Amino acid sequence: MHIAVTGNIGAGKTTLTTMLAKHYGWQAQFEDVDHNPYLEDFYADMSKWSFALQIYFLGSRFRQVKEIRESGKNIIQDRTIYEDAYIFAENLNDMKLLSDRDYKNYLSLFSLMTSFVSAPDLLIYLKSDVPNLVKKIYKRGRDYEASISIDYLSKLNQKYESWIKGYKEGKLLIIEVDELDFVERPEDFGLILERIETELHGLF
C-alpha cells in the first residue's frame, strides 16, 4: 500500500505523514528538505538555483517511488513526484525564474522517469488557503522560508487546484485543513482516519 500526502508549503504534509505512519505502523518517506544542498540558495536567488533545485527534487522523488514499489512495504509518502513538475517547475517557468530551455529539458526527464513508476494507491490533498499557510510557515520558523512571498504561495495554490482538478492517476481524497487541528484535537485526526479508511475500504 502506498499513500501519498500532498499540498502547498505549510499545509501540514510532514506532520500528517508522521502521524499516519505511527498510527498504522507503516514506514514514512519524507521530502529531502534538511539535507537538500540547494534549498537555502534557491530561496535567496530563485532564478539562479531553480533548475538545480528542481532536478535535485526530481531525482530524490524518483528514487523514493522506485524504493517504495520494490520494497513491497506499506508506505506513507510526504509529497509526490508529480508536484515537482505540475506545481513547482511549471510555476517557476510561469514566473520567468526557470527558462523555457531548462523547463523543456526538465519535462523531458520527468516524462522518462514517470514512465517507470506508478501512482500512489491513494493521494491525500491537504487543501489550505494562503493566510493559514503563512501562519503555519511562520510558526515552524525555518530561516530559509522567511523570504517566501504571499504571491508565490498564491500561485502555488492555483497550480495545486488546477492539478488536483485534473488528477486521474488514482484514488484522491481532498481534506480541507483550515479549520482542522489534527495535532491538538484527536477528533480531527480521527475524522481524517475515517475518511482514509472509507476511501480504501477492503484494502487495509
Side-chain-side CA neighbours of 45 within 13 Å: the count stands at: 5
- Which residues are the active-site residues? 78
The β-bridge partners of 27 are 75
Domains of the chain in start order, with CATH, are 2-194 (3.40.50.300)
For residue 23, which amino acid is it? H
- Separation of alpha carbons 84 and 154, rounded Å: 17
The C-alpha atoms of residue 114 and residue 64 are separated, in whole angstroms, by 12
Q: Pick out the chain residues at pLDDT < 50.
A: none
Closest C-alpha among 200, 69, 31 to residue 123: 200
Q: What is the pLDDT of residue 34?
A: 65
Per-residue pLDDT, 143: 63
pLDDT of residue 202: 60
User: How do residues 78-135 score in pLDDT, each as one tens digit?
Assistant: 989 999 899 999 999 999 999 999 999 999 999 999 998 888 999 999 999 988 888 8
Q: Which residue has the cell 492555483?
A: 158
